[in-house]
Structure 1
């Protein structure tokens, strides 16, 4: 077996009843559902919000607005993967891979079909962006989303950018993942981020995410600020 990663095509048709199934859980209070996705999980959440009914609010953490890595299927429709050029992958002095520049520009005509039609979504979006992300051009993608939504008469999404923050903006007080072995590639990858700025971004982003969800899912609940 080669060392190249293997991806299976995503099919979200079977997720059609996910909102209804989630609402039936006794832990769920109210009729609203929020999604949060990070990296590849972000464009999957964008697709779910775009095609499935009942999604009220969606948070994307350093995510792409185009379908990535493999084709995505929904009913009779297929969204192809955004193309990439692995020859543009760079290596740091420490031997870590950087994939920031490998992905094709989704705004260029040959790549338009990979863009996710997020204007079909029912609820608002929050984009969390690490400005030192070395995996995705996250800020660029967030502004593509903003322009697309406004072009279709939708509200501008909330975009929060964190200078010095890298790709892996985890919940607060988790160790900053500046670099590690990628779980899919099996290779050391540099994610970016300055430790202090990244740590502060994790704390603030967590508060912003909770505030966003409470605003759109349950306006009666307030969020206690961090004491960091």
Structure 2
């Protein structure tokens, strides 16, 4: 009889909560089976909140989960599918507090993809899911659309998914989820394709009437046009033209050789200067990797006057003489390539100053504008430290040391990008027929810290030299 009363009580409790039966009718019914003691067990459903849920890629997103089991283990998980259809994910382990809350701005992760209090750790620790394609590098191709990231909180501490069984377990343990968007373009940014005077590029203009200070954006030997950093600069109020000079279908010559020279870069500079929405006397250059070599070549060897130059992990010398007035170049010399035990390639010796003929150095003594050098001390692709040391020495000898600002990051690798982008330690180098794996370097957490710190420094440096003011 007692068991029947308990069963009856649970069934009728459900009816009561759904307001199918009233308390008076309930008491009358239960009196037939003996007394039943009632206790409220209803509590709010778990809730996961992202603030904001639509943000720029470099903007902090606050993640906070409520109404969870108190003082209990939970897993925070981020998942997204990149434009090539590959799944990326990160997981991190937390313990809820006495109120059943996990706040990523206050609470430390105790395991998983990262440890410590890292409000944006779920984003910068994203990696290809186990069992997926190896050697991936996350690069946004279509800047008009966002990355959509699904963040979930799950019961207990779980590992990254690597099987359909794990997927089933995670669905059973999911307590709450939220979808958010991460953008490179704010509303109102205008994207303009440039095909003028043989120049191949994309110009991004900020919202508003202009004219605007501008940046010429130069990537390394990545094929085609890389647009996402230029779009982000425009979202911060600077016009920015990203320039193709290697591996683009609209450029002359073989697709895997640099077939443009000084005349091409001078024409690109002029296209940017002549645009009616650009302040022609307020133009900077930013380069990463081999783009640093190009940026310094433009600033010192062409009859142009950039307001400043930002260099991220790149050389000012090269074993090959790559540029001339007619755009001649020579084949890359693989004798300077090095490989580790896994066969992954490093190009550090390719631009070590001690390996380079004197005639292949940029004449850095001719520079007339401020230089900002961002250096990752764990760069496995370029001898950034050695190049910066030599640049600093030569500028000191030329009595121009005041033009040189150096920021160095222990543990950071080659690909220092805008904040919260995933660290890429190695990836496939698609420019080579053999699809070699390149070593970029970088400790996950230290590289993320370098990206977070360097980006506002770059923006402040540009604002100071283009507008004569610092950013807030």
TM-score (norm 1): 0.82
Q: Distance in 1 between matches of 2:328 and 2:381?
A: 25
**Is 1:54 the counterpart of 2:292 in the alignment?**
no
CA contact (8 A) 1:99 1:136 kept: yes
CA contact (8 A) 1:166 1:193 kept: yes
Give matches, 1:161-172, under 5 Å: 161-172=408-419
* Cα drift, residue 35 of structure 1: 0.3
**Is 1:194 the counterpart of 2:443 in the alignment?**
yes
Q: Distance in 2 between matches of 1:154 and 1:123?
A: 10
Q: 1:153 aligns with which of 389, 396, 399?
A: 399
Aligned length: 214
* Cα drift, residue 69 of structure 1: 5.2
Show CA shifts across 1:124-171 (max 9, x none). Answer: 111110000001110110111111122222234111100010011111
CA contact (8 A) 1:79 1:113 kept: no
* Cα drift, residue 27 of structure 1: 3.6
> With CA pairs under 8 Å and 6+ residues apart, which has the higher RCO, 1 or 2?
1
Q: 2:261 aligns with which of 11, 17, 21?
A: 11
Give matches, 1:36-185, under 5 Å: 36-52=286-302, 53-67=304-318, 71-74=322-325, 85-86=335-336, 89-93=338-342, 95-100=343-348, 102-103=349-350, 105-107=352-354, 111-156=357-402, 157-185=404-432
* Cα drift, residue 28 of structure 1: 2.4
| Structure number with higher strand proportion | 2
Moved over 6 A (4+): 77-84
* Cα drift, residue 73 of structure 1: 0.6
Show CA shifts across 1:186-208 (max 9, x none). Answer: 31112100011101101111111
Can you give the 5+ residue segments of structure 1 that lack an aligned partner in the other structure? none
Query: Which structure has the larger Rg over C-alpha atoms?
Result: 2
* Cα drift, residue 51 of structure 1: 2.0
Mean alpha-carbon deviation: is it higher for 157-166 or for 48-57? 48-57
